[in-house]
Structure 1
């Protein structure tokens, strides 16, 4: 008997605009001890599905059955679900900083989980918390129990969340984007940890992620969702090698690893559907490259194949690997230097209690150059100093030692007024587009803020400039008065890019600009960045943990480790002939999505009409 069996789950969420059909007739089974993956674009219903069946979305209307260890979760009382959550089913959420309470220590938050379900002493609870923190890779765990969330890096906070979910040794772990925004080595460690737990303790894992490479490397079975609908499900190996549904193929094709360097990335056209008014026919038909007239008038059947794959489609996907996009001619290496960083160091003085001070060296003598029109990639693990170096270059953090020379100007010698003028030439685009946009201000005001600060445009002239920038980055200028919450994740990142371009900068620093985006939206943003660079002659410093993205975007790569640049060379030289063991470790830990091959004819077992 499966550990978890969902049968025809439908979820309706009442909103001011009407009923949101977040899921419709979704069925799947999860075998004990397996790793079950759920993938799809943002808004496809992945997280809503798992949270609703766990009773974490009060007020939703949910139908169907969801049997866990033989008991229907949908018929449990709130008290029964509370007893089940944590003890039998653990959850790891996407954003650890939002999930961890900033006012309480890590130790208190982990032991609270233990005390909620077991009667144990605080000493025993702390010992168990420290043991689990050690298991997830937190060094000196016993001493760090009394630290607060802000004293941990992003990757370490995610480890804490996983420790919290595992501390009671539940039967099932639901991990919702557990590796988003983590560097590749930490991703590999987290996935290896989950895999170790399920093999040693028999824990079953449901993992939600938009990282198809990661999914392909660890999942036993995968379900692909779109618009609240299960479009394809089957064994991971076969599904990724030869997908049966055009949507799955489109997701895989959108990966930078599937395109030749120098070509435009493929992106699934259009946008996900509105779930307020679901079409009666195929929900993917408006975006499907293989659409036929029947797809727009009749609901697709569920096609079950002998290989174990099932796909909700009128036809079997045609996989054509021909890439007709012509390769761009190789660019000549730029020689006109724009940025020079010479022996830059940064040291923080920190209090260690009872008036004692200690020194923390974050940057330890960084030297690099960036040529005009070049894209330099900066890679390395969390905490190695990538983002700190970017903020030193942008003038947001003063260096303790060294020199930053921008276009022949020693920025360390500038007066405050001169620095303000210099910042017009260096702009940043941050990792979290929603977190970097004021939710209470309209998009027009957000993009126009640089003009106001520097007194460059007022009134109608400013509005015209903002509308021009919105059109430049692919946003509808008519949406000038909307708020950030009314835009998708990819659109919010375009707003951040438009704001960065407002003052015609020479250098744009991208700090993990696509790490939180699904592959299709990621492809759109990367294509936009390349187009803008060619059109405006921009220079990029590109920080990312996704090595396939870095390989596609960058002319050169600098590898950072523990506050130092340990290797810097042309992109292909780094990938083909890395010189440092650390670089080889990064490359080995990177998960690249498989490139679909021409599918062999499948044996069709049955055709289930009305499955949609």
Structure 2
């Protein structure tokens, strides 16, 4: 018997532009004690679906049925829903820092959950909170009870959110992208913790994520969503081994882990449709490389296969589906000993962190970094949060002065430059940031944003500047006709292309990419990675590439520097590093990385049933 079962769940959200059809006729059943994965691109309806289950969409028009412990949650009075939330159904959100109140201690916030649902005294509440903090792996829980959220690392804050969700021992926990912003080692710890809680408490887990490698390694069952529709559904092992729907296969093909390093990725073309319109046929047809004539006009049937996998598609699994050959990397001739663009020599950075009984304390962030980045190569920086990756990048970019050591760009020592030389050097080092929306001014038009480097350095003006901007937009795959649009009118991948165009404007010697694809879906990620490699091949660009996604780093980098505690503990070519890591910490990182298994074309399935949908 299912612990949670949805039947024909539909969610429509009224907006000023019209009704957003966020979830359309979705059905599924979750087995008690299992881990149920929900995958799909941004905007596919994953989070909206679970928010509807939790009763967190008061203004939405919700129809269908969602059965939990013998009660239909749709239309349940708010008082009853409040008792279920936290008590029987817990929730873990993506960003633990924004989910925790900065003015209250960790212990007080978890204890509030107990006081809201039980009649309990302060001493007993404190004891239960300390016990739960210990169970989720918080060291010295009694001492950390009175600490504030900012005193915890990202991984520790996520453990606090798990403790808050588990404190009442709910039957079901919904984890919405709980590991997206975390390093691979912390990701592994959080996933292992969720699995341990599932075993110890018998809790059922719904895991929402766009990390297919993670889902393939931990999920029992999986549902793949697109534009509010459930396109594929079944046991995770069967779905990832042989995807039945072209969309699922497209997501798997977009993942760098499915390719040889340096090979051209095969992203899903186009972009998701508007949720304001109701398509006549298959919602995925405009982007599907295998679409039939009837796909555009006729609603696809639900096909059920002998292994239990269900697919909303006109194609039978494997029919006419040839998996693209995993092409070898494009041959790019690079010098055996390239001219150095950036030379980092014994760089140290120490922060003074205030006073303690009148004495200042020093915090060593970087402890003697040596690294050379040659012209035309991509050097990766990997390591856990706090190891100094981004700090080193800021020093190379000239945004933070080093305490000691030397940084030379194009042979010039950054510390010896006067104001005029600094202004000129700014043209040689550019950055592409992690958050493509946060790094763009929402009140300025894209043409002005990309044209800023020309304006600030007095290189071009008027029609000449506009023409240069349009050429840059075309170079990075943006429509030059969208010159006057605002950033909010672009998708996440397009906004990242805007940031890349701005970085390219002055033809820099070095581009620092700080987690440039970590916030993107796998299909958009593939487009951006292809673009970066294409631009490097055509323009001879040099990259310093920071990422916590080891499959991405392996795919794009020539050499990889592994950082731990402010030091580079291993530096090797990508191929040798992954084949034969020498340092224990490198081996730890690689063992924590979740890679996708090889998948087939779905041709081994037998169709047992085809039924239409109402």
Q: Same fold (TM over 0.5)?
A: yes
Instruction: Give the deviation of 1:600 after TM superposition.
Output: 4.1
Tell me the SS of whatever aligns to 1:567: strand
Match of 2:474 in 1: 471
Q: 1:537 to 1:439 in 2, by over 3 A?
A: same
Equivalent residue in structure 2 for 1:368, among 368, 371, 377 = 371
Distance 1:354 1:146 in 2: 21
Match of 1:184 in 2: 184
Check conservation: 1:403, 1:412, Cα contact below 8 A. Answer: yes
Equivalent residue in structure 1 for 2:433, among 430, 444, 448 = 430
Distance 1:129 1:458 in 2: 62
TM-score, normalised to structure 1, is 0.95
TM-score, normalised to structure 2, is 0.95
Instruction: Give the deviation of 1:168 after TM superposition.
Output: 2.6
Q: 1:311 to 1:87 in 2, by over 3 A?
A: same
Written as runs of structure 1 = structure 2, the 5 A alignment for 1:37-116 is: 37-116=37-116
1:514 is aligned to 2:529: no
Written as runs of structure 1 = structure 2, the 5 A alignment for 1:213-292 is: 213-292=213-292
1:331 is aligned to 2:333: yes
Match of 1:570 in 2: 573
Equivalent residue in structure 2 for 1:462, among 441, 460, 465 = 465
Distance 1:143 1:456 in 2: 58
Match of 1:541 in 2: 544
Written as runs of structure 1 = structure 2, the 5 A alignment for 1:305-324 is: 305-318=305-318, 319-323=321-325
Tell me the SS of whatever aligns to 1:91: strand
1:21 is aligned to 2:24: no
Distance 2:26 2:532 in 1: 37
Equivalent residue in structure 1 for 2:402, among 391, 399, 404 = 399
Report how many aligned residue pairs link the two structures.
Answer: 611
Match of 1:412 in 2: 415
Instruction: Give the deviation of 1:571 after TM superposition.
Output: 0.6
Check conservation: 1:334, 1:374, Cα contact below 8 A. Answer: no
Match of 2:380 in 1: 377
Distance 1:110 1:366 in 2: 41
1:388 is aligned to 2:391: yes
Check conservation: 1:253, 1:595, Cα contact below 8 A. Answer: no
Match of 1:340 in 2: 343
Distance 1:567 1:259 in 2: 24
Match of 1:532 in 2: 535
Instruction: Give the deviation of 1:417 after TM superposition.
Output: 4.1
Distance 2:387 2:129 in 1: 27
Cα distance per residue 1:9-65 (max 9 Å; x no partner): 011111122111111110001111100000011111111111122122221111001
Equivalent residue in structure 2 for 1:589, among 589, 592, 601 = 592
Distance 2:184 2:510 in 1: 26
Distance 2:98 2:591 in 1: 31
Q: 1:452 to 1:100 in 2, by over 3 A?
A: farther
Distance 2:242 2:535 in 1: 35
Distance 1:450 1:102 in 2: 37
Match of 1:503 in 2: 506
Q: 1:76 to 1:422 in 2, by over 3 A?
A: same
Distance 1:444 1:330 in 2: 33
Tell me the SS of whatever aligns to 2:74: helix
Match of 2:202 in 1: 202
Instruction: Please identify, of 363-372 and 290-299, the stretch whose mean Cα deviation from structure 2 is larger.
Output: 290-299
Distance 1:36 1:253 in 2: 22
Instruction: Give the deviation of 1:448 after TM superposition.
Output: 2.6
Runs of 4+ in 1 over 6 A off after TM superposition: none
Check conservation: 1:426, 1:506, Cα contact below 8 A. Answer: yes
1:359 is aligned to 2:381: no
Instruction: Give the deviation of 1:98 after TM superposition.
Output: 2.6
Instruction: Give the deviation of 1:356 after TM superposition.
Output: 4.7
Instruction: Please identify, of 314-323 and 85-94, the stretch whose mean Cα deviation from structure 2 is larger.
Output: 314-323
Instruction: Give the deviation of 1:359 after TM superposition.
Output: 1.8
Distance 1:120 1:353 in 2: 38
Distance 2:191 2:498 in 1: 33
Match of 1:610 in 2: 613
Instruction: Please identify, of 172-181 and 52-61, the stretch whose mean Cα deviation from structure 2 is larger.
Output: 52-61
Instruction: Give the deviation of 1:432 after TM superposition.
Output: 1.5
Q: 1:571 to 1:70 in 2, by over 3 A?
A: same
Check conservation: 2:317, 2:605, Cα contact below 8 A. Answer: no
Distance 1:463 1:109 in 2: 53
Equivalent residue in structure 1 for 2:454, among 448, 451, 456 = 451
Cα RMSD for the two superposed structures: 1.9
Check conservation: 1:153, 1:383, Cα contact below 8 A. Answer: no
Ranges in structure 1 where 5+ consecutive residues have no aligned partner: none
Instruction: Give the deviation of 1:301 after TM superposition.
Output: 0.7
Q: 1:125 to 1:386 in 2, by over 3 A?
A: farther
Check conservation: 2:259, 2:326, Cα contact below 8 A. Answer: no
Cα distance per residue 1:359-394 (max 9 Å; x no partner): 221111111111011100111111111111111111
Tell me the SS of whatever aligns to 1:179: coil
Ranges in structure 2 where 5+ consecutive residues have no aligned partner: none
Match of 1:551 in 2: 554
Distance 1:381 1:581 in 2: 14
Instruction: Give the deviation of 1:532 after TM superposition.
Output: 1.1
Instruction: Give the deviation of 1:336 after TM superposition.
Output: 0.7
